[in-house]
Structure 1
């Protein structure tokens, strides 16, 4: 299994509706691309103040490296990135295997 973790910082002008759409798109992608076991996301609620402006996290689990590798160039992933790109300030992507 591969964990694919995204830390997202949105542009100041991103609306709540924009953010909700991007999170809904992440939820829907599991049904559109084979090999994704789960997708979950959340908004930062840490009282420590060390999130450096990153407000949301997406946590995806892929069945294996091949599934993750197929996801990266997949057309549905490109659609997701296009919607996210206009409201994205920065993103950290971190993958690890189990």
Structure 2
């Protein structure tokens, strides 16, 4: 299994409705792309203040390396990016094998 973590800082101009749309697009991925096992979405609520302006996290689980390789160029991923990327001020992406 592969975990795919995104830490996101949205632009100040990003509207809540646009962010909600992005969330829905991410959460729909397991039903659209074979090998996307799950997607979790969360907003930072840590009291430590160490989030460095990153406000949202996405945790995707892929069944294996091949599933991640199918996801990256997939048209559904491209459609998600078309909505998501214009709203992003900064992002950190980290993948690791389980």
* Length, aligned pairs only: 98
Distance 1:35 1:64 in 2: 7
Q: Which runs of 4+ in 1 moved over 6 A?
A: none
Distance 2:59 2:96 in 1: 11
Structure 1: state its 5+ residue gaps: none
Name the structure where helix makes up a greater proportion of residues.
2
CA deviation after TM superposition for structure 1 residue 90, in Å = 1.0
TM-score w.r.t. the length of structure 2 is: 0.97
Distance 1:69 1:7 in 2: 20
TM-score w.r.t. the length of structure 1 is: 0.97
CA deviation after TM superposition for structure 1 residue 58, in Å = 0.4
The CA RMSD measured in Å over matched residues stands at 0.6
